[in-house]
């Protein structure tokens, strides 16, 4: 077998299903589509793969205005126009005004890279379809110059999506899919220990208890996730708090619940005296 198996890294813990999905994607040279709740470490997964393979990571954060073309290259017409008017540089050489986007850089790179297309669902609904051809063939033509950019080493492509939008079927069919589940308590405890290695066991147990109860509160719009838990524990330690209990009032609740409605929902749940289900 000529590919390196992914087993997670020291700072990124995986499940066996996730490892299987990553290895499938690497072996079959398909994009890996990762979905899951915000804060479950979708973006970090790409970083972990890059560091496990020992290659460079190219990050392409997708925004609502991003077009597929931006990922390949941009022809900077305005700059060329400006130069032609004010006479800076060689205007005849179009190549000077072709700027590669993240996908273009990944293809042009001499060695293998990991390309992260982050939050693909943020862009227009047709965006994923526009990428299909290039991701399949791993090549594209710069139409202004006629140059063809071919990937020497197929980049490992990781695509994340917040499950906000349905992605097109044709796109989904080409991807290896993994849904990151919210970690169970045991895994969460291991994850927290990675970030806070010298954390007191008692505080960890209490924090997890409070955290999982909080996630069960009815009517939360954004349930707190792993990253919020890690931040919250950091705050607790910084403040020197040694014990937390949900019933006794949660310190630094704002680190876990970021929306005003959620704070209200939590207050109401507590007021009703109905302890949130643990």
Partner 1 sequence: MFVPFLYELRDRGVKVGAQEALSLAEALALGLHKGTLDGFYEVARALCVHREQDLDAFDRAFAHHFRGVPDEALALTDEILAWLEQPAGRRKLTELERQLLERLDLAEARERLRQRLSEQRERHDRGNRWVGTAGTSPHGSGGFHPTGIKVGEAPGGKGALEVAADRRFRDLRSDVTLDTRHIEVALRRLRAFVREGVLSELDVESTIDKTARNAGELEIALRPPRRSNLRVLLLLDVGGSMDPHADVCERLFSAAKRATHFKELRTYYFHNCVYGRVYETAALIRGADVLQVVQDCDPSWRLIVVGDALMSPWELQSSGSRWSFSDDSGAPGIAWLAHLAQHFPHAAWLNPEPQAAWYGTAEVIRRVFPMYRLTQDGLLEAVQRLMRGGNRH
Count of residues interacting with partner 1 (CB under 8 A): 34
Rg (alpha carbons) of the chain, rounded to whole number:
23
When asked if residue 176 is in the footprint of partner 1 (CB under 8 A), the reply is yes
When asked if residue 21 is in the footprint of partner 1 (CB under 8 A), the reply is yes
Pairing of strands 113-118, 98-100: unpaired
Gap between the Cα atoms of 120 and 124, Å rounded: 9
Torsion angle defined by CA atoms of residues 272, 276, 277 and 278, in that order, rounded to the nearest 10 degrees: -150
When asked if residue 17 is in the footprint of partner 1 (CB under 8 A), the reply is yes
Tokens 């939360």 found at:
220
Nearest to partner 1 of 184, 245 (CB atom): 184
Residue (of 39, 8, 15) closest to 184 by Cα position: 15
Which listed residue (74, 179, 195, 209) binds partner 1 by CB under 8 A?
A: 179
Q: What is the DSSP string of 38-88?
A: TTSSHHHHHHHHHHHHT-EEEEEE--TT--HHHHHEEE-HHHHHHHHHHT-
Residue 128: HSE in the Cβ half-sphere, 13 Å Cα cutoff = 24
When asked if residue 77 is in the footprint of partner 1 (CB under 8 A), the reply is yes
When asked if residue 166 is in the footprint of partner 1 (CB under 8 A), the reply is yes
When asked if residue 223 is in the footprint of partner 1 (CB under 8 A), the reply is no
Which listed residue (95, 125, 190, 200) binds partner 1 by CB under 8 A?
A: 125
Stretch that binds partner 1, among 45-53, 95-103, 138-146, 170-178 (CB under 8 A): 170-178
When asked if residue 175 is in the footprint of partner 1 (CB under 8 A), the reply is yes
Interface residues toward partner 1, by CB under 8 A: 1, 16-17, 20-21, 23-25, 27-28, 30, 33, 35, 77-78, 81, 84-85, 125, 163-167, 169, 172-179, 181
């Amino acid at each position: 077998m000529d590919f390196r198996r992914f087993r997670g890294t020291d700072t990124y813990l995986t499940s066996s299903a996730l490892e299987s999905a990553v290895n499938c994607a690497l072996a079959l040279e398909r994009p890996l589509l990762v979905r899951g709740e915000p804060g479950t470490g979708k973006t970090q997964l790409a970083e972990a793969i890059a560091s496990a393979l020992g290659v460079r990571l190219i990050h392409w954060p997708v925004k609502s205005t991003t077009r597929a073309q931006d990922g390949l290259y941009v022809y900077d017409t305005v700059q060329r126009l400006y130069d032609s008017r004010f006479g800076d540089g060689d205007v005849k050489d179009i190549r000077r005004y072709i700027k590669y986007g993240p996908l273009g850089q990944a293809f042009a790179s001499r060695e293998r890279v990991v390309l992260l297309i982050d939050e693909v669902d943020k862009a227009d609904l047709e965006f994923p379809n526009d990428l299909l051809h290039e991701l399949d063939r791993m090549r594209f033509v710069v139409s202004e110059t006629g140059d063809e950019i071919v990937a020497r080493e197929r980049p490992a492509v990781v695509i994340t999506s917040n499950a906000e939008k349905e992605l097109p079927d044709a796109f989904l069919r080409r991807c290896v899919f993994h849904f990151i589940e919210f970690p169970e308590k045991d895994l969460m405890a291991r994850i927290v220990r990675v970030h806070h290695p010298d954390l007191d066991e008692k505080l960890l147990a209490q924090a997890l208890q409070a955290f999982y109860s909080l996630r069960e509160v009815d009517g939360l719009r954004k349930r707190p996730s792993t990253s919020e838990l890690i931040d919250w524990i950091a705050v607790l330690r910084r403040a020197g708090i040694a014990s937390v209990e949900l019933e006794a009032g949660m310190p630094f609740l704002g680190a876990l619940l970021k929306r005003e409605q959620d704070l209200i929902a939590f207050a109401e749940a507590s007021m009703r005296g109905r302890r949130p289900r643990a």
